[in-house]
Structure 1
Amino acid sequence: MKLGALLLGLALAQTLAACAGPRPAPPQGASVVPPPAWRTVLDGPGAPIRADWWTAFGDPVLVNLVARALAANPDLGVAAARVEEARAAERLARAQRTPTLNAGLPTTEGQTVSPFGTPSTAFGAQPSITASYDLDLFGRLRQASAAARAQALANEGARDTVRLAIVSSVASGYIQLRALDLRLAVARETLAARSEALRIARRRAETGYTSNLELRQAEGEYRATEQLVPQAQLLVARQENALSLLLGTSPGPIPRGLPLDRLLAPAVPDGLPADLLRRRPDLFQAEQALVAADRSLDSARAAMMPNVALTGSAGVVLSTALANPIGVFSIGGSVLSPLFDGGRLRAQADAAAARRDQAAWSYQRAALIAFREVDDSLASVLRSGQQATALAGQRAAAAGALRIASNRYRAGYSAYIEQLDAQRALLTAELALIQARADRLAAYVSLYQTFGGGWAREDVGAVRR
């Protein structure tokens, strides 16, 4: 007994010394201090998230498409199911901290022998209720429950990340679809102009006014423009199919609203606060993953401490061999402490510490990526606008050059090659302008996405104050 008590005392002393050691420090440069809670930012005064930022483009059809995608997108459904799974795991971890009650009704049948040697058959039953409760003195179950709670919040952040990505993809895809529609319209208009030029060239060649060289050049240019129409139609069909997938439907036509040049470009105010980045669901997910890893480390360290549990049972013995029922009860406790486990618990704690460090580095990386994406989006909004302005001027100049070249050609002052070059320049400028306008609108979508869903007037006002 003395030897057993000595071994138990040594084991407890080693366990206490191990658990009282210094807490592993996070990697240098990786902060483990989380920003304000995601729900606090959502519900906090003066900082509401603009949940319908896609309405800023002024197209009701786009608003309807986003609503359909949020209602039927399969990726969002999977993310929502994962949230429900995490919430169930949280409830399971929380249930480990509550007492457990079990009821039993064992029955027996046997023979009894009286003093006179007369055997008889006896029937008995012992209904009972057993209760057990883990005191959790060192917080093993409490920290495990907190880790499950943080993991559930991280899954909610992952779901919100998917939701924001779906909305942004629908908005960007719709903008690209309207750009492709405009490209198709330009290709058809250009093809009609090439057809008229080919008709004039054929008539001039038949009358002997020009050589067949101009006729072949006009015919070649017509065929080159003709292939742009099915190419644009193919891109439109593919874009419609991509949007159908986002909407959770089979491939089919997508309704159209405003043309590309009538979609509004939202104004970006000066002085957007950096705190808006805390609204990003991916940052919230990384934050809660860090919290979950930290709580798991606490739970692993607490597992080295003794486990104290209380048990009790109460019941009654009923038997035909007894004149009256007999009540029975028991109350007890248990203290379990690891004496020798070959380093398993220490290895589990070290693994939890390593996972916590990984989560800390991931959180820092997510923050750096957020800053980079915001800077890229702001630069895209600015530079794409400048590019669109320059291309609009180029398109106007190319249209003027085509008018002059066409008049000179019809008057016989220049060769057909000048008109041909002017036509090619105008087509190139028009297609580039369409793409630049689409890129500019897509840059606004990206900016809203990188800020976690837009901003409100109160956010800018708070910075200016």
Structure 2
Amino acid sequence: MKLSKLMFVGAALALAGCASAPPHEPPAMDLPAGFKQATAQAAAQGIWQPVPQPVQPAAAGAVVVGASWWTLFGDATLDRLQQRAEAGNPGIAQAVARWRAAQAALAGSRAGLSPTLGVGASAQRARSGAAGSGAITSTSDQIGLNASWELDLWGRLSAAVDAASADAQASAADLAAARLSLQAQLAQSYFALRTAEAQQRLLQETLAAYEQSWQLTRNRQRAGVASSADVAQAEAQYKSAQAQWLEAGATRAQQEHALAALIGVAPAALDLPATGALPAPPLVPAELPARLLQRRPDIAAAQLRVAAANADLGVARAAYFPALTLSAAAGYRGTQLAGLISAPHLFWSLGPALAATLIDGGARAAAVDSARAALDLATAGYRQSVLTALQEVEDNLVAASTLAEQQQVQAEALAAAQKALVVINNQYKAGTVGYLNVLTAQTAVMSAQSGLIGVKNRRLLATSTLLKNLAGGWDGGEV
């Protein structure tokens, strides 16, 4: 009997040597020395010499997102809206719930490593034999404890815990990514609202100037020095600007509604005073190492899901090995409830059980193949996340740099258009040019002013998107 037990344990230990969980190696992917746009600018200025670095694996709690990065824009209203969005946005609440569910799943997986203990009680009355004098009626009462513990000899349970742990960490990274995305979306909607206000203010001032020109043209017509065509052109110019003013008002209202949804309130509950002032974007540093991408929560989540998929592969492969369970039971069993808890009615049992599947029609092999495919999918998704992140940062670095120059050029174009309008207005009053010249000059000024507002808005969007793409900052830590 002892020999059989030793052989049983020996067989189990031999199988344990065939541990099936594969060692996890993070996907190999090197980051470039630096971002193409930033590196070119910094190298031209002799600021730094970049050193290539591989992507570091994400660890628990390693995701760092810049705290309050939007404060770089120096707008108190935006700060307040961001605080309200953090507390009231339904999307954040959903992400928090998913994270809590992942934490609960991790706790459930860890519970599988521990023994289970239960208690039970039963009462049963049975009859056997034909009805009549030959029938036998019996009563059985039982109360007792039972315990079981599955030994994790070949890592199936621990692999499941590793998978759940990586999923929980990925869920935390997803929550950070959701917050970051919300912050960027709110900032961009806010900038769009202020842009619409600035356009409204510009068009209001333009309408006043056009109305004066329209009145001047009507006066000149009554004096016989202007034609009815000049009056019609002035009226058409005024009405066109009025239509644009109405459109800007509708855009402003829609952006305010969008902000209300982002902070989690009904549109009627949000009423922002109009300022028409756009905040100034922060300057983008010339030195931006590509390793900043390692703190992006979406990249960390993708990397952690590779680890989870690798652990799931270990779970699938462990299904080829038998399950070894230690079980025990103890209690009292008797035919009468009275005096049940006494030594004569005591029973107990203790022993191991080894169970394995011999034929399953290829189900385990299919599960392993599916897990391998899931691992390959997660690995490719991680690499795609890194490449997409590189592209996003490069795009917005180019946009931020180009738009800063474009804003300066647009301001110079506006100054030239305003100067030309003054000269042409004087010439028109002197009767040396026709009203078409005035119309053309006024249109050029308004177009230049509107273009300058648009450039400022695009620059704000590019800078805020760049901050989002760098996980809320560019100094390697919190803003």
Question: TM bucket by the smaller chain?
Answer: 0.7 to 0.9
Aligned to 2:252: 236
Aligned to 1:138: 154
How far residue 38 of structure 1 moved from its aligned partner, in angstroms, is 5.3
How far residue 317 of structure 1 moved from its aligned partner, in angstroms, is 3.2
One-letter amino acid of the counterpart of residue 173, structure 1: S
Q: In the alignment, does 2:336 pair up with 1:317?
A: no
- Superposed, 1:354-393 pairs within 5 Å as 354-393=373-412
Aligned to 2:142: 126
How far residue 336 of structure 1 moved from its aligned partner, in angstroms, is 1.2
One-letter amino acid of the counterpart of residue 382, structure 1: S
Q: In the alignment, does 2:282 pair up with 1:260?
A: no
Aligned to 2:74: 58
Give the gaps of 5 or more residues in structure 1.
1-7, 43-48, 112-120, 461-465
Q: In the alignment, does 2:416 pair up with 1:397?
A: yes
How far residue 188 of structure 1 moved from its aligned partner, in angstroms, is 1.0
How far residue 240 of structure 1 moved from its aligned partner, in angstroms, is 1.2
- Superposed, 1:280-291 pairs within 5 Å as 280-291=296-307
Deviates more, 1:122-131 or 1:327-336: 122-131
Decide whether the 8 Å contact of 1:151 with 1:289 is kept in 2: yes
For residues 424 and 321 of structure 1, do their structure 2 counterparts lie closer, same or farther at Cα, with a shift above 3 Å needed?
Answer: closer
Decide whether the 8 Å contact of 2:174 with 2:301 is kept in 1: yes
One-letter amino acid of the counterpart of residue 411, structure 1: A
Q: In the alignment, does 2:202 pair up with 1:189?
A: no
Write the deviation string for residues 227-262 of structure 1: whole angstroms up to 9, x where unpaired.
11111111111111111111111124542476434x
Decide whether the 8 Å contact of 2:29 with 2:55 is kept in 1: no
One-letter amino acid of the counterpart of residue 222, structure 2: E
Q: Percent identity?
A: 34
1:331 maps to which of 339, 343, 350: 350
Decide whether the 8 Å contact of 2:58 with 2:300 is kept in 1: no
Q: Secondary structure at the residue paired with 2:61? A: helix
Aligned to 1:200: 216
Aligned to 1:95: 111
Decide whether the 8 Å contact of 2:90 with 2:264 is kept in 1: yes
Aligned to 2:462: 443
Decide whether the 8 Å contact of 1:34 with 1:287 is kept in 2: no
Q: In the alignment, does 2:324 pair up with 1:305?
A: no
Cα distance in 1 for partners of 2:198, 2:21 equals 68
Q: Secondary structure at the residue paired with 2:346? A: strand
One-letter amino acid of the counterpart of residue 358, structure 2: L
How far residue 382 of structure 1 moved from its aligned partner, in angstroms, is 0.2
Q: In the alignment, does 2:435 pair up with 1:416?
A: yes
How far residue 79 of structure 1 moved from its aligned partner, in angstroms, is 1.3
Aligned to 2:48: none
Which TM-score applies when normalising by structure 2?
A: 0.84
Write the deviation string for residues 150-194 of structure 1: whole angstroms up to 9, x where unpaired.
112212222211111110011111111111100011111111111
Aligned to 2:85: 69
Cα distance in 2 for partners of 1:20, 1:50 equals 40
Cα distance in 1 for partners of 2:446, 2:349 equals 93
RMSD: 3.2
- Superposed, 1:167-178 pairs within 5 Å as 167-178=183-194
Cα distance in 2 for partners of 1:199, 1:212 equals 13
1:153 maps to which of 126, 148, 169: 169
Write the deviation string for residues 314-347 of structure 1: whole angstroms up to 9, x where unpaired.
1123536869542211001111122121221111
How far residue 404 of structure 1 moved from its aligned partner, in angstroms, is 0.6
Decide whether the 8 Å contact of 2:218 with 2:231 is kept in 1: yes
Decide whether the 8 Å contact of 1:82 with 1:155 is kept in 2: yes
Q: In the alignment, does 2:56 pair up with 1:40?
A: no
Write the deviation string for residues 382-404 of structure 1: whole angstroms up to 9, x where unpaired.
01111111110111111111111
Write the deviation string for residues 390-433 of structure 1: whole angstroms up to 9, x where unpaired.
11011111111111111111111211111110000011111110
For residues 254 and 272 of structure 1, do their structure 2 counterparts lie closer, same or farther at Cα, with a shift above 3 Å needed?
Answer: farther
For residues 155 and 241 of structure 1, do their structure 2 counterparts lie closer, same or farther at Cα, with a shift above 3 Å needed?
Answer: same
Write the deviation string for residues 270-308 of structure 1: whole angstroms up to 9, x where unpaired.
322322211111111101111110000011111111211
Which TM-score applies when normalising by structure 1?
A: 0.86
One-letter amino acid of the counterpart of residue 141, structure 2: A
Aligned to 1:118: none
Deviates more, 1:232-241 or 1:29-38: 29-38
Cα distance in 2 for partners of 1:266, 1:27 equals 35
For residues 279 and 259 of structure 1, do their structure 2 counterparts lie closer, same or farther at Cα, with a shift above 3 Å needed?
Answer: farther
Give the gaps of 5 or more residues in structure 2.
1-7, 32-53, 128-136
Aligned to 1:427: 446
Decide whether the 8 Å contact of 1:38 with 1:279 is kept in 2: no
Q: Which 4+ stretches in 1 moved above 4 angstroms? A: 15-34, 108-111, 121-124, 256-259, 320-324, 457-460
In the comparison of the two structures, how many residue pairs are matched? Answer: 437
For residues 28 and 20 of structure 1, do their structure 2 counterparts lie closer, same or farther at Cα, with a shift above 3 Å needed?
Answer: same
Aligned to 1:116: none
For residues 123 and 351 of structure 1, do their structure 2 counterparts lie closer, same or farther at Cα, with a shift above 3 Å needed?
Answer: closer
Decide whether the 8 Å contact of 2:400 with 2:462 is kept in 1: yes
Cα distance in 2 for partners of 1:198, 1:221 equals 9
